[in-house]
Amino acid sequence: MNLHSPDVQVTDSNEALTYLKEGNARFVADACMPRDTNKQDLALTANAQKPFAAILTCADSRTCPEIFFDQKIGDLFVLRNAGNVADASVLGSLEFAVKHLGVAVVVVVGHTMCGAVHTSYDGVEGLSCNLQAMLDGLRPSIAGSGGKEEAAQDNVQNQVDILAANEVIGAVPVLGAYYDIATGVVEFN
């Protein structure tokens, strides 16, 4: 069981990673923490947040890190967009999480059956302006990939490299992970 409380700052990256791994194991085993502490957690986080990890993941409705990592309110600083892309908004948000919130680790979580990556890999054209720009932006991350799932994994690694190269974000460990939407298992790179 995760003994982390939203009122205690976790500063050790190994401890933070352990919380994520243990939480995913609970989720996969269908043994998640009881959710009868929401009112208490709200009270503890009402005046400040102390997340131990920042997560960049896809906007896909099947990828909810608070759930598949079995964490509570205040534990994770989560950013989501189609294809888990480290764009300017994400970079700024993660800089804030590292520098001002003190997250101990940043994790980019890709997933199986990622529609954004698969569509970009297929080279689909002629979509709305914003959607096409998003898909075109993914293409450099997956150029040379040997298939759609490999492309999704290559994209994770590319986003990790972008984040780790940032002088603020790279001050903490930046890791990649891959979530299987069928099993619930998260594998860390």
Q: Would strands 53-57 and 186-188 be described as parallel, antiparallel, or unpaired?
A: unpaired
- pLDDT value at position 163? 98
Provide the pLDDT for residue 4. 54
Q: Where are the beta strands (DSSP E) in 20-93?
A: 53-57, 76-80
The DSSP-derived string for 75-120 is TEEEEE-TT----HHHHHHHHHHHHTT--SEEEEEEETT-HHHHHH
**Taking the C-alpha atoms of 135, 138, 143 and 148 in order, what is their torsion angle to the nearest 10 degrees?**
-70
pTM: 0.93
**Does residue 95 register a pLDDT over 90?**
yes
* In the predicted structure, residue 57 carries a pLDDT above the cut 60: yes
User: Reduced to 3 states, what is the DSSP secondary structure of residue 14?
Assistant: helix
Report the pLDDT averaged over residues 152-180. 98
Residues 56 and 32: beta-carbon distance below 8 Å: no
- Residue 38 confidence (pLDDT): 73
Q: Which residues contact 119 (CB under 8 A, 6 or more apart)?
A: 135
